[in-house]
Structure 1
Amino acid sequence: MSTELEYSATLTGASFMFYEFKQVVSLRLKGFSEQEIRQKVLSENLFQYKVSASLKRGLPSILRRVEILDETLCQMILEQSLETGRLINLYAIMKTDRLFFEFMNEVIREKLQANDYLLEKKDINLYFTSKSEQDEGVAGWTEQTVTKLKNVIQRIILEAGILKDKKTGELSRILIDDQLKQHLIHIGDIAFVKAMGE
Protein backbone atom coordinates (compact mmCIF):
# COMPACT_ATOMS: atom_id res chain seq x y z
CA MET A 1 0.00 0.00 0.00
CA SER A 2 1.18 3.52 -0.62
CA THR A 3 0.84 4.79 2.96
CA GLU A 4 4.60 4.53 3.46
CA LEU A 5 5.03 7.08 0.66
CA GLU A 6 5.31 10.71 1.64
CA TYR A 7 2.87 13.17 0.14
CA SER A 8 4.58 14.88 -2.75
CA ALA A 9 3.84 17.44 -5.42
CA THR A 10 5.86 15.68 -8.15
CA LEU A 11 2.68 15.10 -10.16
CA THR A 12 2.84 18.75 -11.21
CA GLY A 13 5.67 17.80 -13.56
CA ALA A 14 4.43 14.39 -14.63
CA SER A 15 0.70 14.13 -15.38
CA PHE A 16 -0.63 11.04 -17.26
CA MET A 17 2.14 10.77 -19.88
CA PHE A 18 0.89 7.50 -21.36
CA TYR A 19 2.84 7.75 -24.64
CA GLU A 20 6.10 8.28 -22.73
CA PHE A 21 5.25 5.57 -20.20
CA LYS A 22 4.67 3.04 -22.98
CA GLN A 23 8.02 3.85 -24.61
CA VAL A 24 9.91 3.37 -21.35
CA VAL A 25 8.10 0.04 -20.73
CA SER A 26 9.14 -1.09 -24.21
CA LEU A 27 12.80 -0.21 -23.53
CA ARG A 28 12.69 -2.03 -20.18
CA LEU A 29 11.35 -5.16 -21.84
CA LYS A 30 14.21 -4.95 -24.35
CA GLY A 31 16.58 -5.25 -21.38
CA PHE A 32 17.73 -1.64 -20.98
CA SER A 33 18.70 -0.60 -17.44
CA GLU A 34 17.17 2.47 -15.82
CA GLN A 35 20.40 4.39 -16.45
CA GLU A 36 20.46 3.35 -20.14
CA ILE A 37 16.79 4.29 -20.54
CA ARG A 38 17.42 7.71 -18.98
CA GLN A 39 20.40 8.27 -21.28
CA LYS A 40 18.57 7.09 -24.39
CA VAL A 41 15.46 9.18 -23.72
CA LEU A 42 17.51 12.33 -23.11
CA SER A 43 20.12 11.93 -25.85
CA GLU A 44 17.68 10.85 -28.56
CA ASN A 45 14.80 13.04 -27.31
CA LEU A 46 12.56 9.96 -27.56
CA PHE A 47 9.50 11.80 -26.24
CA GLN A 48 9.99 14.49 -28.91
CA TYR A 49 9.71 17.39 -26.46
CA LYS A 50 10.64 20.85 -27.65
CA VAL A 51 11.93 21.81 -24.21
CA SER A 52 14.35 19.44 -22.50
CA ALA A 53 13.39 20.83 -19.06
CA SER A 54 9.94 19.23 -19.39
CA LEU A 55 11.63 15.97 -20.27
CA LYS A 56 13.92 16.09 -17.25
CA ARG A 57 10.98 16.95 -14.97
CA GLY A 58 8.69 14.13 -16.13
CA LEU A 59 11.19 11.32 -16.69
CA PRO A 60 11.92 10.44 -13.01
CA SER A 61 8.18 9.91 -12.38
CA ILE A 62 7.84 7.68 -15.43
CA LEU A 63 10.88 5.64 -14.41
CA ARG A 64 9.38 5.21 -10.92
CA ARG A 65 6.07 4.06 -12.42
CA VAL A 66 7.73 1.52 -14.72
CA GLU A 67 9.96 0.31 -11.87
CA ILE A 68 6.98 -0.95 -9.82
CA LEU A 69 5.53 -3.01 -12.69
CA ASP A 70 6.16 -6.71 -12.99
CA GLU A 71 6.87 -8.50 -16.26
CA THR A 72 3.19 -9.45 -16.78
CA LEU A 73 1.97 -5.84 -16.49
CA CYS A 74 4.72 -4.64 -18.84
CA GLN A 75 3.70 -7.25 -21.43
CA MET A 76 0.04 -6.27 -21.05
CA ILE A 77 0.81 -2.62 -21.79
CA LEU A 78 2.36 -3.54 -25.12
CA GLU A 79 0.08 -6.42 -26.08
CA GLN A 80 -3.38 -5.60 -24.72
CA SER A 81 -5.82 -2.86 -25.67
CA LEU A 82 -5.07 0.83 -25.31
CA GLU A 83 -7.65 0.96 -22.48
CA THR A 84 -5.82 -1.73 -20.52
CA GLY A 85 -2.53 0.11 -21.02
CA ARG A 86 -4.07 3.33 -19.75
CA LEU A 87 -5.43 1.58 -16.65
CA ILE A 88 -2.03 0.07 -15.89
CA ASN A 89 -0.57 3.57 -16.17
CA LEU A 90 -3.31 4.81 -13.79
CA TYR A 91 -2.44 1.98 -11.39
CA ALA A 92 1.28 2.87 -11.60
CA ILE A 93 0.51 6.53 -10.82
CA MET A 94 -1.54 5.48 -7.78
CA LYS A 95 1.16 3.07 -6.68
CA THR A 96 3.88 5.75 -6.80
CA ASP A 97 1.92 8.81 -5.65
CA ARG A 98 0.19 8.73 -2.27
CA LEU A 99 -1.76 11.95 -2.80
CA PHE A 100 -3.24 10.64 -6.04
CA PHE A 101 -3.98 7.16 -4.66
CA GLU A 102 -5.82 8.64 -1.69
CA PHE A 103 -7.78 10.94 -4.00
CA MET A 104 -8.87 7.93 -6.06
CA ASN A 105 -9.66 5.92 -2.93
CA GLU A 106 -11.35 8.60 -0.85
CA VAL A 107 -13.10 10.66 -3.51
CA ILE A 108 -13.58 8.69 -6.74
CA ARG A 109 -14.20 5.24 -5.22
CA GLU A 110 -16.67 6.62 -2.69
CA LYS A 111 -18.56 8.57 -5.34
CA LEU A 112 -18.83 5.59 -7.66
CA GLN A 113 -19.91 3.33 -4.79
CA ALA A 114 -22.69 5.80 -3.98
CA ASN A 115 -23.63 6.01 -7.70
CA ASP A 116 -22.77 9.70 -7.58
CA TYR A 117 -21.38 10.51 -11.02
CA LEU A 118 -20.57 14.16 -10.43
CA LEU A 119 -17.16 15.45 -9.39
CA GLU A 120 -17.56 19.03 -8.23
CA LYS A 121 -14.94 21.66 -7.53
CA LYS A 122 -15.88 21.50 -3.84
CA ASP A 123 -15.03 17.76 -3.74
CA ILE A 124 -11.49 18.47 -4.89
CA ASN A 125 -11.18 21.51 -2.60
CA LEU A 126 -12.41 19.53 0.43
CA TYR A 127 -9.95 16.75 -0.34
CA PHE A 128 -7.00 19.16 -0.37
CA THR A 129 -8.26 20.93 2.76
CA SER A 130 -8.47 17.66 4.66
CA LYS A 131 -4.99 16.62 3.50
CA SER A 132 -3.48 19.92 4.60
CA GLU A 133 -5.10 19.42 8.02
CA GLN A 134 -3.63 15.89 8.25
CA ASP A 135 -0.13 16.64 6.97
CA GLU A 136 2.11 19.64 7.58
CA GLY A 137 4.00 19.02 4.34
CA VAL A 138 0.79 19.43 2.35
CA ALA A 139 -0.16 22.43 4.52
CA GLY A 140 3.10 24.08 3.47
CA TRP A 141 2.42 23.92 -0.27
CA THR A 142 1.80 27.21 -2.05
CA GLU A 143 -1.59 28.01 -3.51
CA GLN A 144 -0.01 27.79 -6.96
CA THR A 145 1.23 24.23 -6.31
CA VAL A 146 -2.18 23.13 -5.00
CA THR A 147 -3.97 24.66 -8.01
CA LYS A 148 -1.58 22.90 -10.36
CA LEU A 149 -2.07 19.57 -8.54
CA LYS A 150 -5.86 19.93 -8.75
CA ASN A 151 -5.57 20.46 -12.52
CA VAL A 152 -3.15 17.55 -12.99
CA ILE A 153 -5.38 15.17 -10.99
CA GLN A 154 -8.35 16.15 -13.16
CA ARG A 155 -6.30 15.69 -16.32
CA ILE A 156 -5.14 12.22 -15.20
CA ILE A 157 -8.66 10.96 -14.46
CA LEU A 158 -9.86 12.53 -17.72
CA GLU A 159 -7.18 10.71 -19.75
CA ALA A 160 -7.87 7.49 -17.85
CA GLY A 161 -11.54 7.71 -18.85
CA ILE A 162 -12.96 8.22 -15.34
CA LEU A 163 -13.80 11.88 -15.83
CA LYS A 164 -15.95 12.27 -18.95
CA ASP A 165 -15.91 16.04 -19.11
CA LYS A 166 -13.78 18.47 -17.11
CA LYS A 167 -16.35 21.27 -17.39
CA THR A 168 -19.38 19.31 -16.22
CA GLY A 169 -17.46 17.06 -13.81
CA GLU A 170 -19.34 14.01 -15.08
CA LEU A 171 -17.75 10.74 -14.00
CA SER A 172 -18.01 7.35 -15.63
CA ARG A 173 -17.22 3.86 -14.45
CA ILE A 174 -14.24 2.20 -16.10
CA LEU A 175 -14.28 -1.44 -17.04
CA ILE A 176 -11.16 -3.21 -15.95
CA ASP A 177 -10.17 -6.08 -18.21
CA ASP A 178 -10.66 -9.31 -16.26
CA GLN A 179 -7.10 -10.54 -16.84
CA LEU A 180 -5.73 -7.27 -15.46
CA LYS A 181 -8.11 -7.29 -12.51
CA GLN A 182 -7.22 -10.89 -11.60
CA HIS A 183 -3.51 -10.17 -11.89
CA LEU A 184 -3.70 -7.12 -9.60
CA ILE A 185 -5.70 -9.11 -7.05
CA HIS A 186 -3.20 -11.99 -7.35
CA ILE A 187 -0.23 -9.71 -6.55
CA GLY A 188 -2.05 -8.30 -3.53
CA ASP A 189 -3.14 -4.96 -4.99
CA ILE A 190 -6.90 -5.28 -4.64
CA ALA A 191 -6.96 -1.86 -2.92
CA PHE A 192 -5.93 -0.28 -6.23
CA VAL A 193 -8.64 -2.15 -8.12
CA LYS A 194 -11.19 -0.86 -5.62
CA ALA A 195 -9.79 2.67 -5.86
CA MET A 196 -10.54 2.58 -9.62
CA GLY A 197 -14.17 2.02 -8.70
CA GLU A 198 -14.46 -1.74 -9.23
Structure 2
Amino acid sequence: MNKNNSPYTAAITGCSFLYFEFKRILPMLMSPDAALLLKEEIEKNDILQINSLSSRKRFIVEFKRRFASVPLHFWQAWQGWSEEGQRIGLFYAILKTYKLVFDFHFNVAIKQWNSVDHQLNKSDIMMEFNEIAAHDEFVDSWSDNTKDRCASAYLTILRQSGLLTEKTNELQSVHPASSELEYYFRTGEEWFLDACFLYPYEINDIKAKLS
Protein backbone atom coordinates (compact mmCIF):
# COMPACT_ATOMS: atom_id res chain seq x y z
CA MET A 1 0.00 0.00 0.00
CA ASN A 2 1.51 3.34 -1.01
CA LYS A 3 1.00 6.78 0.46
CA ASN A 4 -1.84 7.62 -1.93
CA ASN A 5 -3.85 4.56 -0.91
CA SER A 6 -3.28 4.88 2.83
CA PRO A 7 -5.72 6.87 4.98
CA TYR A 8 -2.90 7.70 7.40
CA THR A 9 -0.50 10.63 7.60
CA ALA A 10 2.27 11.59 10.03
CA ALA A 11 1.43 15.29 9.70
CA ILE A 12 0.70 15.66 13.42
CA THR A 13 4.44 15.38 14.07
CA GLY A 14 4.89 18.85 12.59
CA CYS A 15 1.67 20.42 13.85
CA SER A 16 0.22 19.03 17.06
CA PHE A 17 -2.49 20.99 18.93
CA LEU A 18 -1.54 24.69 18.62
CA TYR A 19 -4.75 26.06 20.13
CA PHE A 20 -3.69 29.70 20.41
CA GLU A 21 -2.12 29.77 16.94
CA PHE A 22 -5.21 28.22 15.35
CA LYS A 23 -7.51 30.64 17.16
CA ARG A 24 -5.54 33.61 15.81
CA ILE A 25 -5.68 32.26 12.25
CA LEU A 26 -9.35 31.21 12.29
CA PRO A 27 -10.74 34.63 11.19
CA MET A 28 -8.50 34.41 8.11
CA LEU A 29 -9.70 30.87 7.38
CA MET A 30 -13.31 32.07 7.60
CA SER A 31 -12.74 35.05 5.30
CA PRO A 32 -13.81 35.05 1.61
CA ASP A 33 -10.23 36.21 0.94
CA ALA A 34 -8.71 33.32 2.90
CA ALA A 35 -6.26 32.24 0.21
CA LEU A 36 -4.78 35.73 -0.15
CA LEU A 37 -4.72 36.46 3.58
CA LEU A 38 -3.04 33.17 4.45
CA LYS A 39 -0.44 33.66 1.73
CA GLU A 40 0.33 37.12 3.10
CA GLU A 41 0.54 35.76 6.66
CA ILE A 42 3.08 33.13 5.61
CA GLU A 43 5.22 35.92 4.15
CA LYS A 44 4.68 38.68 6.74
CA ASN A 45 4.19 36.68 9.97
CA ASP A 46 1.95 39.36 11.53
CA ILE A 47 -0.41 36.99 13.38
CA LEU A 48 1.38 33.69 13.95
CA GLN A 49 4.62 35.25 15.25
CA ILE A 50 6.57 32.10 14.37
CA ASN A 51 10.10 32.77 13.15
CA SER A 52 10.49 29.74 10.91
CA LEU A 53 9.03 30.19 7.41
CA SER A 54 8.83 26.42 6.88
CA SER A 55 6.89 26.04 10.16
CA ARG A 56 4.43 28.76 9.14
CA LYS A 57 3.84 27.04 5.82
CA ARG A 58 3.33 23.67 7.52
CA PHE A 59 1.00 25.05 10.18
CA ILE A 60 -1.16 26.87 7.62
CA VAL A 61 -1.52 23.70 5.54
CA GLU A 62 -2.68 21.71 8.59
CA PHE A 63 -4.91 24.53 9.88
CA LYS A 64 -6.66 24.58 6.50
CA ARG A 65 -7.20 20.83 6.70
CA ARG A 66 -8.65 21.06 10.22
CA PHE A 67 -10.85 23.97 9.24
CA ALA A 68 -12.21 22.07 6.23
CA SER A 69 -12.86 18.86 8.18
CA VAL A 70 -16.05 20.27 9.76
CA PRO A 71 -18.79 22.62 8.47
CA LEU A 72 -18.42 26.39 8.65
CA HIS A 73 -21.26 26.68 11.17
CA PHE A 74 -19.19 24.65 13.62
CA TRP A 75 -16.46 27.30 13.62
CA GLN A 76 -19.04 30.07 13.84
CA ALA A 77 -20.38 28.47 17.04
CA TRP A 78 -16.84 27.63 18.26
CA GLN A 79 -15.86 31.29 18.36
CA GLY A 80 -18.39 31.96 21.12
CA TRP A 81 -17.39 29.07 23.39
CA SER A 82 -15.26 29.06 26.54
CA GLU A 83 -11.61 28.05 26.27
CA GLU A 84 -12.49 24.57 27.56
CA GLY A 85 -15.21 24.24 24.93
CA GLN A 86 -12.91 25.54 22.22
CA ARG A 87 -10.07 23.21 23.15
CA ILE A 88 -12.28 20.13 23.08
CA GLY A 89 -13.88 21.45 19.87
CA LEU A 90 -10.46 21.71 18.25
CA PHE A 91 -9.82 18.14 19.36
CA TYR A 92 -13.06 17.16 17.59
CA ALA A 93 -11.79 18.75 14.37
CA ILE A 94 -8.45 16.96 14.77
CA LEU A 95 -10.24 13.62 15.20
CA LYS A 96 -12.14 14.35 11.99
CA THR A 97 -8.94 15.31 10.15
CA TYR A 98 -6.47 12.58 11.10
CA LYS A 99 -7.44 8.90 11.05
CA LEU A 100 -4.29 8.11 13.04
CA VAL A 101 -5.49 10.24 15.96
CA PHE A 102 -9.01 8.78 15.66
CA ASP A 103 -7.69 5.22 15.79
CA PHE A 104 -5.37 5.95 18.71
CA HIS A 105 -8.25 7.50 20.61
CA PHE A 106 -10.94 4.91 20.00
CA ASN A 107 -8.76 1.80 19.91
CA VAL A 108 -6.52 2.69 22.86
CA ALA A 109 -7.55 5.68 24.99
CA ILE A 110 -11.28 4.92 25.26
CA LYS A 111 -10.58 1.26 26.01
CA GLN A 112 -8.16 2.38 28.71
CA TRP A 113 -10.74 4.80 30.09
CA ASN A 114 -13.26 1.98 30.36
CA SER A 115 -10.75 -0.23 32.20
CA VAL A 116 -9.67 -0.08 35.84
CA ASP A 117 -6.39 1.69 35.04
CA HIS A 118 -6.86 5.18 33.55
CA GLN A 119 -3.18 5.77 32.93
CA LEU A 120 -2.13 6.10 29.28
CA ASN A 121 1.50 5.77 28.23
CA LYS A 122 3.40 5.94 24.98
CA SER A 123 3.92 2.17 25.07
CA ASP A 124 0.13 1.72 24.84
CA ILE A 125 0.07 3.85 21.69
CA MET A 126 3.01 2.00 20.16
CA MET A 127 1.15 -1.30 20.48
CA GLU A 128 -1.68 0.17 18.39
CA PHE A 129 0.91 1.49 15.93
CA ASN A 130 2.18 -2.06 15.43
CA GLU A 131 -1.39 -3.20 14.74
CA ILE A 132 -1.93 -0.43 12.18
CA ALA A 133 1.43 -1.08 10.51
CA ALA A 134 0.61 -4.77 10.17
CA HIS A 135 -2.29 -3.84 7.87
CA ASP A 136 -0.89 -0.73 6.18
CA GLU A 137 2.36 -0.89 4.21
CA PHE A 138 2.75 2.88 4.13
CA VAL A 139 2.63 3.18 7.92
CA ASP A 140 4.88 0.14 8.18
CA SER A 141 7.46 2.03 6.09
CA TRP A 142 7.69 4.87 8.63
CA SER A 143 10.85 5.05 10.70
CA ASP A 144 10.77 4.24 14.40
CA ASN A 145 11.51 7.91 15.05
CA THR A 146 8.45 9.02 13.04
CA LYS A 147 6.22 6.56 14.88
CA ASP A 148 7.60 7.70 18.22
CA ARG A 149 6.98 11.35 17.32
CA CYS A 150 3.41 10.56 16.24
CA ALA A 151 2.72 8.85 19.57
CA SER A 152 4.21 11.80 21.46
CA ALA A 153 2.18 14.27 19.40
CA TYR A 154 -1.05 12.39 20.16
CA LEU A 155 -0.33 12.48 23.90
CA THR A 156 0.40 16.22 23.62
CA ILE A 157 -2.94 16.71 21.84
CA LEU A 158 -4.71 14.87 24.67
CA ARG A 159 -2.99 16.96 27.34
CA GLN A 160 -3.72 20.26 25.66
CA SER A 161 -7.34 19.35 24.99
CA GLY A 162 -7.74 18.58 28.71
CA LEU A 163 -8.17 14.81 28.42
CA LEU A 164 -4.82 13.75 29.94
CA THR A 165 -3.11 15.04 33.08
CA GLU A 166 0.30 16.66 32.64
CA LYS A 167 2.35 14.80 35.24
CA THR A 168 0.69 11.46 35.87
CA ASN A 169 -0.64 10.63 32.37
CA GLU A 170 -4.08 9.91 33.80
CA LEU A 171 -7.01 10.11 31.44
CA GLN A 172 -9.73 12.50 32.60
CA SER A 173 -13.10 13.57 31.26
CA VAL A 174 -13.90 17.14 30.25
CA HIS A 175 -17.20 18.88 30.96
CA PRO A 176 -17.84 21.92 28.75
CA ALA A 177 -21.17 23.71 29.20
CA SER A 178 -24.23 21.87 27.87
CA SER A 179 -24.76 24.71 25.39
CA GLU A 180 -21.27 24.07 23.99
CA LEU A 181 -21.99 20.37 23.57
CA GLU A 182 -25.30 21.04 21.85
CA TYR A 183 -23.65 21.13 18.42
CA TYR A 184 -22.66 17.46 18.64
CA PHE A 185 -26.21 16.36 19.50
CA ARG A 186 -27.86 18.53 16.87
CA THR A 187 -25.58 17.31 14.06
CA GLY A 188 -25.62 13.59 14.78
CA GLU A 189 -22.10 13.64 16.22
CA GLU A 190 -23.05 12.32 19.64
CA TRP A 191 -20.20 9.79 19.38
CA PHE A 192 -17.87 12.65 20.26
CA LEU A 193 -19.27 12.74 23.81
CA ASP A 194 -17.81 9.25 24.27
CA ALA A 195 -14.51 10.65 23.01
CA CYS A 196 -14.67 13.23 25.83
CA PHE A 197 -14.78 10.30 28.30
CA LEU A 198 -18.29 11.19 29.45
CA TYR A 199 -20.26 8.36 31.00
CA PRO A 200 -23.62 7.34 29.49
CA TYR A 201 -25.58 8.82 32.41
CA GLU A 202 -23.75 12.15 31.93
CA ILE A 203 -24.59 12.16 28.22
CA ASN A 204 -28.24 11.40 29.01
CA ASP A 205 -28.31 14.25 31.55
CA ILE A 206 -26.93 16.69 28.97
CA LYS A 207 -29.41 15.45 26.38
CA ALA A 208 -32.26 16.00 28.84
CA LYS A 209 -31.14 19.59 29.46
CA LEU A 210 -31.13 20.30 25.74
CA SER A 211 -34.47 18.68 24.95
In the other structure, the counterpart of 1:65 is: 66
In the other structure, the counterpart of 1:150 is: 151
Q: How far did 1:54 drift?
A: 0.9
TM-score by length of 1: 0.88
In the other structure, the counterpart of 1:105 is: 106
TM-score by length of 2: 0.83
Contact (CA 8 Å) 2:70, 2:96: kept in 1 or not?
no
Percent identity, aligned pairs only, is 26
Q: Aligned partners of 1:156, 1:7: CA distance in 2, in Å?
A: 17
Q: Aligned partners of 1:170, 1:85: CA distance in 2, in Å?
A: 21
Counterpart of 2:57, as a letter, is K
Q: How far did 1:174 drift?
A: 1.3
In the other structure, the counterpart of 1:44 is: 44
Q: Aligned partners of 1:134, 1:182: CA distance in 2, in Å?
A: 37
Give the ranges of 4+ consecutive aligned residues of structure 1 lying more than 4 Å apart after TM superposition: none
Q: How far did 1:5 drift?
A: 7.5
Q: How far did 1:115 drift?
A: 5.0
For the structure 1 residues 40 and 88, does the alpha-carbon distance in structure 2 shift closer, same or farther, using more than 3 Å as the test?
farther
Q: How far did 1:44 drift?
A: 2.6
Q: How far did 1:7 drift?
A: 0.7
For the structure 1 residues 117 and 86, does the alpha-carbon distance in structure 2 shift closer, same or farther, using more than 3 Å as the test?
same
Q: Aligned partners of 2:37, 2:95: CA distance in 1, in Å?
A: 22
In the other structure, the counterpart of 1:189 is: 189
Contact (CA 8 Å) 2:25, 2:48: kept in 1 or not?
no
For the structure 1 residues 110 and 33, does the alpha-carbon distance in structure 2 shift closer, same or farther, using more than 3 Å as the test?
farther
Computing the radius of gyration from Cα coordinates, the structure with the larger value is 2
**CA deviation vs aligned residue, 1:137-188 (integer Å, no higher than 9, x gap):** 11111111111111111111111111102x5322211114323333123222
User: What is the aligned length?
Assistant: 193
For the structure 1 residues 71 and 179, does the alpha-carbon distance in structure 2 shift closer, same or farther, using more than 3 Å as the test?
farther
Q: Aligned partners of 1:5, 1:133: CA distance in 2, in Å?
A: 13
Q: Aligned partners of 2:122, 2:29: CA distance in 1, in Å?
A: 39
Query: Which residues of 2 match residues 98-137 of structure 1 at below 5 A?
Result: 98-137=99-138
Q: How far did 1:32 drift?
A: 3.3
In the other structure, the counterpart of 1:18 is: 19
For the structure 1 residues 76 and 22, does the alpha-carbon distance in structure 2 shift closer, same or farther, using more than 3 Å as the test?
same
- More RCO (CA 8 Å, sep 6+): 1
* Root-mean-square deviation (Å): 2.0
In the other structure, the counterpart of 1:74 is: 75
Q: For structure 2, which runs of at least 5 residues remain unmatched after alignment?
A: 199-211
